[in-house]
Amino acid sequence: MSLPGDHPPVEAPRVGVLLVNLGTPDAPTPKAVRRYLKEFLWDRRVVEIPRLVWWPILNGIILNTRPRKSAHAYQQVWTEDGSPLAAITKAQAEDLQKRLGAGVLVRWGMRYGNPAIADEISAMKAAGCERILFAPLYPQYSGATTATAIDALSAKLAAMRWQPALRTLPPYYDDTAHIEALRADTARQLRALEFVPEVLLLSFHGMPERTLHLGDPYHCQCRKTARLLSEALAGEFPDLRIEVTFQSRFGRAKWLEPATDIVLAAEGAKGTKRLVIAAPGFSADCLETREELSIRGKEQFFEAGGTHFAALDCLNTGKAGMGMLEGLVRRELAGWI
């Protein structure tokens, strides 16, 4: 049946996949970082402090001091394609698009900053996507990551008259495909080192300890990922001691322990000379891995007496990581494609 002559254009129905990560400033400048931090740190799921208490701290202290320091850190890792997180997430989406073919539209978005989740959902709907898989690239679930991304999605849906059908990618912290991808990629990088490490630190992003007591499963899921990965690596690296730490402490509250920076200093002080660090809670390298671990972590370990250090890459767009991501996405799209 043909459409009336005055009918607006209608795109053929499509299936879409939106890869989502945390976010990044638009530029490595204090102004851009301040704008990004204001959005990020005002999120009630990220900072669970009463607004009347938090507002003067955020606007009177943090946003007047932290942007310049953070901008300097970003400047050390910024690329021609933007921040590492943006460049790699974009590359992951482009690779996944090739793997899934023209029948699926793959885009990427950020919870904070650009490209915004709301804008990407609008673009996908305009392109005819009536079914969308929303895929937060967080292996472990946390209210401050997965949940707030879904909050942003829900806010966009609430403003839409014609909503697409939605599915969400579940956390995959203990998925056999994820553990195997981590094992294969970690083992590949360990074999390529010019030294034999004594210790492998598995560093996860930290969270205030109170989130654990309030019921957030993040800590437990990090521990399970680490245990399964350690078991998977044991056969090839039986003499490698593997420890779990948590990085990126912020503020005065007690955070999940042990802290990565403290453990790095302690290992060097007690005689460990050769250490490697990996971040299996991150799907793509970012400021926290490229600057905090690779640069500052190395300095901390060497200052404490270490002599050999390496920070391993995240799964990024490597063969193991992209194969895993394709498998997870295809599984969640079952019945749609």
Span 250-261, pLDDT tens digits? 888 899 999 999
136 and 194, same domain (yes or no) = no
Residue 9: which pLDDT band, with cuts at 50, 70 and 90? Answer: low
Q: What is the pLDDT of the chain when averaged over all its residues? A: 96
The reported pLDDT for the residue numbered 34 is 98
> Can you give the pTM of this predicted structure?
0.95
Tokens of 298: 């190395």
Domain count, the chain: 2
185 and 305, same domain (yes or no) = yes
Is 13 or 333 the better-scoring residue by pLDDT? 333
28, part of any domain: yes
Does residue 1 have a pLDDT over 70?
no
Q: Name the helix (H) or strand (E) containing 194.
A: none
26 and 168, same domain (yes or no) = yes
Does residue 10 have a pLDDT over 80?
no
56 and 162, same domain (yes or no) = yes
130 and 192, same domain (yes or no) = no
128 and 146, same domain (yes or no) = yes
CA 79, 121, 138, 143 torsion-angle sign: positive
Q: At 244, give phi and psi (nearest 5°).
A: -110, 135
Span 271-323, pLDDT tens digits? 999 999 999 999 999 999 999 999 999 999 999 999 999 999 999 999 999 99
154 and 198, same domain (yes or no) = no
246, part of any domain: yes
6, part of any domain: no
- What's the CATH code of the domain at 265? 3.40.50.1400
162 and 23, same domain (yes or no) = yes
Q: Which domain holds residue 262?
A: 176-311
9, part of any domain: no
58, part of any domain: yes
Strands 165-168 and 104-113: unpaired
Is 252 or 161 the better-scoring residue by pLDDT? 161
Q: Are the C-beta atoms of 287 and 74 separated by less than 8 Å?
A: yes
Distance CA 332, CA 165 (A): 13
Span 204-259, pLDDT tens digits? 999 999 999 999 999 999 999 999 999 999 999 999 999 999 999 988 889 999 99
2, part of any domain: no
Residue 6: which pLDDT band, with cuts at 50, 70 and 90? Answer: low
The reported pLDDT for the residue numbered 210 is 95
Write the single-letter amino acid at 305. G
167 and 18, same domain (yes or no) = yes
22 and 168, same domain (yes or no) = yes
